[in-house]
Structure 1
Amino acid sequence: MRTEVTPADLSKSVMAVPPLARSADGAFDIAANAALVHHLEAGGVSTLLYGGNALAHHWPISQYANWLDQLELSCGSNTWLLPSVGSDGGRLVDQAAQLKSRKYPVALLLPMIAPRTEEGTMASLRRFHAECGVQLIVYIKTDDYLLPQSLGALVADGVVFGVKYAVPRPQGGRDSYLDAIIAAIGAERIISGFGEPPAIAHMRDYGLAGFTAGCVCLAPAISMAALAALREGRVDQAQSLIQPMLALEAARNRINEIRVLHEAVSLAGIAQMGPILEPSSGLPATERAEVETAARALLAAEHAFRAQSAA
């Protein structure tokens, strides 16, 4: 696992957001999690974030450090592994204590829940960093979550590493909040947080550094090629590359993004992810056929792409 990173690393790899595998009895599944990590690494992905798709906001604090240690053992030496912290102030305090003795350079701050204030949130983030030395990527999903000038001050002080931006907008027009955040901290510190399809507009129109994604867990080489195309301004090629992902993305959007991805990894045959962490639950049988068809088709496209690239 990498222990030193710079903002330039945000553009070097898709930030994969994998689900978490557990055995039938609910224990951390070492082999299954490692199988998914190795699939991602074999496809060229070098940045892994255990966040929303892993239901990190529901990890028991009693298991938090142990699960991170097990994930670290699954990663290669060149892989940047990010845990998530929050989404409340109490968890931040406990997680800072657990991260203090570990070597994670950056963590994702899950969206902080109310009640909170701007001043209080900034103080909480500063205390977290002071306690453990871990910088934060702030996950922004709602308008005016933090003021751009607050983010700028936290970046200047070394508390905030960057931003994962995922405020939903209608197509067309400028995003004034995103524009203000870019002015405060620079586009090179911001990644798109919606997955491959919306990342095209974010990188094309705003120059963001990269993107997080879920479908990358099935098709890492395709996703990495799309990132490279977007970095080089080859937007049409990026759009063409992500076409095999659209059926699974449609199922995720229609049913549930997290639950569908969890099942898709299993149904494609990459790794058996086991029971999803409560209080979520597995897909009903009526949805599984659609997800399995889309997942297997995407994995087949990934294998074909790798073979073609190697030829």
Structure 2
Amino acid sequence: MQQALTQADYASSVVAVPPIALNTDYSVNAGANEAIIKHIEGGGVHVLLYGGNANLYHFGLDDYRSAMQAITAAAAPTTHLITSIGPDFGKAMAQAPIARDLGFKNVMVLPTNFPADPAGVANGVRKLADAFGSGLILYLKREHYADPDELAKLIAEKAVSFVKYAVEKPDASKDPYLDAVLSAIGTEHLASGMGETPIHDHLGRRKLTTYTSGAVCIAPTAASELLTLYKSGRAAEAFELSQPFLEFEKVRLDLGGLQVLHDGLRLSGIADTGPLMPMVSNLPVGKLKPVQAAVDALKSAEKQAISRALAREKRAAGL
């Protein structure tokens, strides 16, 4: 049975953000999704978030229910699952009882790009939390989406349990909005939400609780080691280990974040992810070469991380 995530749960794991594998008729491919989940769990990652990378924006209510049923059936009992609702208020209100009925205790509200304003977002989140029956995860994707002081009130009221911060900046170290959010709510309720690109600052300098990642779905052991290094203050080692992750994120930026991860999982051999739910398209064959190269680099990093983990286990056992 799912439990509400604690700050300690978030702090102990990278948050994997997987795609959802589909069959050619857009039905949910339960076997492929299970293969992805088992691969992530095998690398020591025990928090999985289904949201943007899963393209839940474009799932109808029946598709949503089917997908979440497949995910909950495949995950280990010790794995924490986060589903997402929205992005519009009406769809979120319709999905909240589905998530609740399926046993989810952790739900994120997908960001609404337009129309939305800070006061409206706060009001909507309160109503959604009341409908769901517990606090929600708020996804900050653009500046001033939520007022920092109002965000602190939402957390105090337990309408918001955690925040995923994903406001992209050319230089992550120069982010007044993040500074204001941190001043209002501290680091314990905040995850870096843009993959590995900003974590040298977000984890190394600002000490956010954890980070979300798509590449972790391919290299979970390496991503777990990366989080441990940053948590241990070994930022230089972490930055070196992060290079294949950063390269993967560059390819995602160039060709499309959802598309590269979705097709990258297939190219990795972990599972056949199939088509993306419209209105997002798979990459054309001619654009797959840099994706394959980035995926191969992640697979190499994962192999090396597994070797280091086994060596540490042997030393700990005195072998």
Q: Within 5 Å, which residues of 2 pair with 1:67-216?
A: 67-171=67-171, 174-216=174-216
Quick one: distance in 2 between partners of 1:139 and 1:204?
21
What SS does the corresponding residue of 1:52 show, helix, strand or coil?
coil
Quick one: distance in 2 between partners of 1:6 and 1:218?
26
Specify the code of the residue in structure 2 equivalent to 1:267: L
CA contact (8 A) 2:173 2:201 kept: no
CA contact (8 A) 1:84 1:109 kept: yes
Which residue in the other structure is 2:272 paired with?
A: 272
Which residue in the other structure is 1:229 paired with?
A: 229
Specify the code of the residue in structure 2 equivalent to 1:180: A
Change (3 A) 1:219 1:172: closer
Deviation at residue 172 of structure 1 after TM alignment: 6.7
Quick one: distance in 2 between partners of 1:15 and 1:213?
6
Quick one: distance in 1 between partners of 2:39 and 2:238?
21
Range moving further from structure 2, 124-133 or 252-261:
124-133
Specify the code of the residue in structure 2 equivalent to 1:229: L
CA contact (8 A) 1:107 1:134 kept: no
Specify the code of the residue in structure 2 equivalent to 1:78: T
Quick one: distance in 1 between partners of 2:101 and 2:258?
30
Change (3 A) 1:246 1:68: same
Which residue in the other structure is 1:301 paired with?
A: 301
Which residue in the other structure is 1:33 paired with?
A: 33
What SS does the corresponding residue of 2:45 show, helix, strand or coil?
coil
TM-score, normalised relative to structure 1: 0.95
Change (3 A) 1:99 1:238: same
Quick one: distance in 2 between partners of 1:101 and 1:141?
28
Give the length in aligned residue pairs: 311
Which residue in the other structure is 1:250 paired with?
A: 250
Deviation at residue 28 of structure 1 after TM alignment: 0.4
Range moving further from structure 2, 135-144 or 223-232:
135-144
Range moving further from structure 2, 156-165 or 180-189:
180-189
What SS does the corresponding residue of 1:206 show, helix, strand or coil?
coil
What SS does the corresponding residue of 1:252 show, helix, strand or coil?
helix
Runs of 4+ in structure 1 deviating by more than 4 angstroms, as ranges, are none
Deviation at residue 204 of structure 1 after TM alignment: 2.1
Which residue in the other structure is 2:49 paired with?
A: 49
What SS does the corresponding residue of 1:84 show, helix, strand or coil?
strand
Quick one: distance in 2 between partners of 1:118 and 1:244?
37
TM-score, normalised relative to structure 2: 0.93
- 5+ residue gaps, structure 2, are 312-319
Deviation at residue 65 of structure 1 after TM alignment: 2.0
Deviation at residue 173 of structure 1 after TM alignment: 5.2
Quick one: distance in 1 between partners of 2:154 and 2:172?
31
Specify the code of the residue in structure 1 equivalent to 2:310: A
Q: Deviations over 1:154-203 (max 9, x none)?
A: 10111101111111223275422212211222211101111113112111
CA contact (8 A) 1:266 1:272 kept: yes
Range moving further from structure 2, 215-224 or 124-133:
124-133
Quick one: distance in 2 between partners of 1:242 and 1:173?
17
Deviation at residue 138 of structure 1 after TM alignment: 1.0
CA-based RMSD: 1.6
Deviation at residue 296 of structure 1 after TM alignment: 2.4
Change (3 A) 1:173 1:229: closer
CA contact (8 A) 1:36 1:217 kept: yes
Quick one: distance in 2 between partners of 1:278 and 1:58?
7
Q: Deviations over 1:8-44 (max 9, x none)?
A: 2221111111111011222100110000000000000
1:8 maps onto 2:19 in alignment: no
Q: Deviations over 1:35-84 (max 9, x none)?
A: 00000000000010111111011111122122111100110111111011
